[in-house]
Structure formats: C-alpha cells, structure tokens
A and B are shown apart, each in its own frame.
Chain A
Amino acid sequence: MAAQGAIASHNGLRKALPWLAPAYLWLTVAIFLPLSAMVFFSFMTDLPLSGKPWAFTLGNYAAFFSQSLYLTLLLASLRLGLEVTLWCIIIGYPAAYVLAKVLKGRSREAIFLLVILPFWSNGLVRIFSWAMVLREGGILDTALNAVLPFKINIDLMYSYPAVIIGLVHSYVPYMVLTCYLTLQAIDDSLIEAGRSLGASRLQVLKRVIIPLSMPGLVAGAALIFVPVVGSFMEPRILGGRTGTFYGTVIEDQFVAVFNWPLGAALSFILLAVVLVILAVASPVLKRAN
C-alpha cells in the first residue's frame, strides 16, 4: 500500500491514471484472468467443470519430458519460427527501405496499401487461397506450364515449403511496417554525409542504415517469431502429413481429446521457452543497437 501511495502521489502518474485505467481494466479482464485460470488448470489432474474429482499435480508438465515427441515438435516449431522470421526479413526489409527512402507521394501510398491489404482479409481465407495456388493442377502449376516451353510439375501443397509460404505471407506486413517506421525516421543527411565521406553504398547500409533501423527489425522479428512458433492453423491446412507441429498438438489436446490441463501445461512450457529465447537474445541485440 505504501508503495502504491508513493507512486500515486507522483503527479504525472495521477494525471495519467484515468487514461490508463480502461486499458488496464481490459487487460486484467480479458487476458490476465483467463491466463491465470489456464495456469491453474495446468496443475490439475482433470478439469473441475468436467464434474469428476480432481487434484493438483505436476504430471502435465512431467508429460512433456517423459515423451520425446513433444521436444521434437517444439524444436521443429522453433525452427519454423526462425525460418519464417528470416524470410520475412529478406522480403520485408528491402520493401520497407524502398517505401521509406525511394518512393514518394502517390506511388508510396499505393504500394503501402498493397502491403497492408493482406491484413484486411481473414486469415483462413488467405490460407485457403494459397491452397488453391499451390496444389498440383492449381493456379501456379497451370500458369507456369502455360508459359514455360517444358513440362514441370509443381505440387507444393501439403509440404513444409507450403507452410513457410503461407506463414511468411501472413506475417511479412509486420516486418514491413516496423522497419518502415524506423527507416523513415533516419535523417537522409546522415546517409548523404556517409556517402560524401567516401563510404560505398554497402558501407552506408552496414554502418548507418542497418544499425539505425535495428529497433524496427528486432520488434518485427519478435512480433513474427512468437506467434509463428505456436501456429497451428497454417501447418494443419497447408502442411498435410508433415504439418504436425507443437501448436497442432496443443490444439489436439483442447479440441480433440478435451485434455485442457495437458494442453495448458504444453502452452506454458512454450511460453517459458519463448521468454527464455527473448531474454537470451535481448543483450545480444542491445549490443547490436
């Protein structure tokens, strides 16, 4: 209470409180409470609402370590997260640079709109559109065979690359937006100064532009990596028989076998692993800044 009083007496915070209250109230009701309930469930033998007797247990967490398949899947999901993030950087960063530094006026607005456009459609619709494009005899296969003089067989559907393509498409706008904001804030005169002092274009990129836009890159990478590691919809629809990941196993526990306690425990292990990764990565990234 004393600490609270001390903080509240801080003039700036007291003024800010009415403006902060709705957001914090919302976060408490919509995120903190359900999440706490999930933590509680993860230590139970059975759901209290199932009407069966239940007790506290660590068994759900032990299940993760007793079977190698959960660890295998977690590693596969982390690899998926890294690959998707990398592709988003490769595709998103140059696009953001062109938007921020090359294009001006009308054309910038038009391209910007095209980048944002995927956000306006439902995720499931996007994934099913990819299914139509990627399958054998699908749009990509037919189009390429109509143009190319030789016959090729494109059947990317139900494979690991299909999952990567679908996820990169869904998440690349995050990278473009975060990088665009930091790139736009870079003063053009810094770049010009570098050039006039004899730095090559590559040196300017390496020594000026990338370091200054690092916060955007890091924010984009974190925004993409975390949800991709837990993704289940894209792998399930696009991955076919190779589409089993950590997220799909969690979904099975909730939907197929109604084992919420195990599903919750697996989710919190994922959360812990992701937090550890971000914690380990942050000093490295700060130094890069």
Chain B
Amino acid sequence: MRMPDLTALLTATAVFTSALAFAAQAAEEVHVLNWKGYGADEPWAVANFEKATGFKVVNDFFNSEQEMLTKIRTNPGLYDVVMINAAFNDQAMAEKLIQPIDISKLPNYADISKDKAGSPMLDHDGKVYGVPWVWGLTALAINEKSFDKPPTSIAEMWNPAHKGRVIIRDDAVEAVQFGAIATGQNINDIKDMDAVKTKLTSLMPQIKTFWSSENDWNQMVASNQIDIGTYWSGSADRAKTHFKLPVSLVIPQEGAVAWLDAFSIPVGSKNVAGAEAFINYMIDPKFYVEWVTKVGAPVSANTKAVEALPEDAFNRKVMGDPAVAKRIQFQAPITDAQREAYLALWQQLKVDVK
C-alpha cells in the first residue's frame, strides 16, 4: 500500500507546485493572440520586447476571425493582447469580450494618425477599444514579366489576353467586395448583388486557381504561371523585397479594399500593464522600421513610424499618396447573415464553373 500513497502524494505535490508556478508566472507573461507570422511573433521582436520590459511573451494563433472570437470567448482570462481586424471590433465589444484601453499608458498612441485613432469602428462612447496597428489594401498585383507597363484598371483581370493566368483568393467576403469595386459600388453597402454575381461569373473562366496563402501566390509567380491577381499590399511588398520576385502592386483607378488591424485587451486579462507595454511596443517606430526592412509589412498607423521609412519606400511613397487615399474603401463590420450570404454566392460561383 505504500506505493500508491507515495504516488498520490507526489502527484498532489506536482499539481500544487505547477499551480503555484502558473500563478506566479501569469503576472509576468503576456499572452498574445494574432495571425501566425504577423509581426508579433517575430523572434527578434519578442526578444527585444522581453529585454526592454522583463515580460515574457507567449504567442498563440488563429486561422480565421471566427476562430479568434471563439478563442477569447472560451478562454476568459487567458489572453492579454488580441489582434482584431477593426471590422470585428464592434462585435467583440458588444459581446463584452474586450475592455477599454487606458491610452495614457501608451506614449506612442499620440502619434497614430488622427483618422485611424478616431475611427468609429474602434472607439465607442469615447472609450478606446482598439489601438490601430497597421493597415493595408487588398488590391491587384502583377507578374512584371507579363506587362510592359503596369495596368491602371481593374478591368485588366477580365482581359482575354490573361485567360487562365488570373488568380484570386479563395475567400467569399474578399471576392464579393472585389466584385463590388469592379461594378463601381460601395463595398460596405452593396445595392446591386446581381451585378456583382454577373461580373464575378464572367471572371471565373479567366482564373487559373484560387490562392489561400502568400506562399501560393509567390510560387505561381516564381514558376511564371500567372499574370495578374488580387493580393494584399503587405504581401506584395514582402514578395518583392524579401523574396526578390517580379511582383508589383497595382492600386486600380476603380479603387481597392482597405482593412485596418488593431490591438485590443480582452476582458479578464491578468496582465493589463504587460498588455499595454506590448501594444505600445508594437506601434513603436523602431519596431516598425525593423519589421519592414527585415520581413516586409503593411503600413503602420503610426505617422512617425511611416516617416521613419526611407523616402522611396513603398509603404511611404505609394500607400501614403493622397490620390490613393481618395480611392480606397475601408471595410466596415459585416453581419453573420451577410457573411453567410456571401459564402453561398461564392460557393455557387465555384460550382457553376466546374
């Protein structure tokens, strides 16, 4: 009978000490929830932050916005920082998943451009629920080998010369909003869904395949299989600077979809001070310049961070161009019903083309 007693004692001790260790650690750890490979988990950035503040960063990842929401719903108190697309901030706040942020603790917040910091998608009742981090575009990118001079219109996607050499992302919301721009509509208030459907139906035979990750896109260009397709601005930048591929971004005259990513602090965070320090570091010009140079990144919401880039940097010269700012449309929140309707439309299009 001695053995089981000993085992039980050992087990109890182990559980107890690990619980104690967990409680002690929890105060110093900053649990961050973000897309994988999206700045916050860069090893050099984590090392710099830990050295400067003494907090330890624990990264966790999600693969879709729905998964992100579920993770913070089902793990109250686990995460201290969560990266939420501004279009989802409203929903997270309404479900009481995120808490107001004391911006006086974030010295870098003052440098965030006024239109982003005051965004009604992030601020509710005068309180800040999301700190704008970076923004970017879903626009077109071209294989430079296939064009003498870059196209200016979104209609290039429908040009018969590119039949079978066009690529778009396998994402219902993105496809429908792209169709809205191609038919001259407001992406957040699509009045004529039939026009979008007709336009996308005529695009389908042009398409080679659908992409889902940056890697898909870059491989298609590397093996010279595509001419043109939808792409994210930050990814096009990374393809050119980091992977040295013949890719350049085109912001069509008809416009492009813009998105804004922001950091929030979940309700029940055990380390609000650590969260504030981490968010402040993420919007710091020093981190941003390093991120852009080493990896390639979207455009920082911090004006000082963008100004710290070289004059001719893509994120400063092209994305900062006032003419570009005029024709882009920022994504607003989408209801679940809309999302399901978009998915049904997109699936139908994919079945019809078979």
Contact residues in A for B171 (Cβ distance below 8 Å): 256
Complex Cα distance, B225 from A257, in Å, reads: 29
The reply to whether B64 and A241 form a contact with Cβ atoms under 8 Å apart is no
Interchain residue pairs A-B with the least CB separation, the first 8: A258-B66, A240-B209, A51-B73, A244-B350, A241-B207, A158-B209, A69-B351, A49-B74
Cβ-based interface call for A83 (8 A): no
Query: Which of B22-30, B144-152, B340-348 binds A?
Result: B340-348
The reply to whether B204 and A241 form a contact with Cβ atoms under 8 Å apart is yes
Complex Cα distance, B73 from A244, in Å, reads: 32
- CB within 8 Å: A-B pair count: 68
Cβ-based interface call for B7 (8 A): no
The reply to whether A49 and B70 form a contact with Cβ atoms under 8 Å apart is yes
Contact partner of B208 (CB less than 8 A), chosen from A49, A50, A158, A249, is: A158
User: Measuring CB to CB, which residues of chain A are less than 8 angstroms from any residue of chain B?
Assistant: 47, 49-51, 67, 69, 72-73, 76, 135-138, 158, 239-244, 249, 252, 255-259
Q: B275 → chain A, closest Cβ, in Å? A: 21
Q: A228 → chain B, closest Cβ, in Å? A: 17
Q: B143 → chain A, closest Cβ, in Å? A: 14
Contact residues in A for B344 (Cβ distance below 8 Å): 67, 69
Chain B interface size, as a band, is 20 to 34
Chain B minimum-CB-distance residue to A256: B64
Contact partner of A51 (CB less than 8 A), chosen from B95, B207, B210, B339, is: B95
Q: Digit string of B55-91 for contact with A (CB within 8 Å is 1, else 0)?
A: 0000000011011011001100000000000000000
Complex Cα distance, B171 from A72, in Å, reads: 21
Contact residues in B for A137 (Cβ distance below 8 Å): 223-225
Contact residues in B for A50 (Cβ distance below 8 Å): 69-70, 73-74
Contact partner of B351 (CB less than 8 A), chosen from A49, A72, A138, A240, is: A72
Contact residues in B for A249 (Cβ distance below 8 Å): 347
Cβ-based interface call for B354 (8 A): yes
Mark out the residues of chain B between 199 and 244 whose CB falls within 8 Å of any chain A CB in the assembled complex: 204, 207-210, 223-225
Contact residues in B for A252 (Cβ distance below 8 Å): 343, 347
Complex Cα distance, B220 from A158, in Å, reads: 12
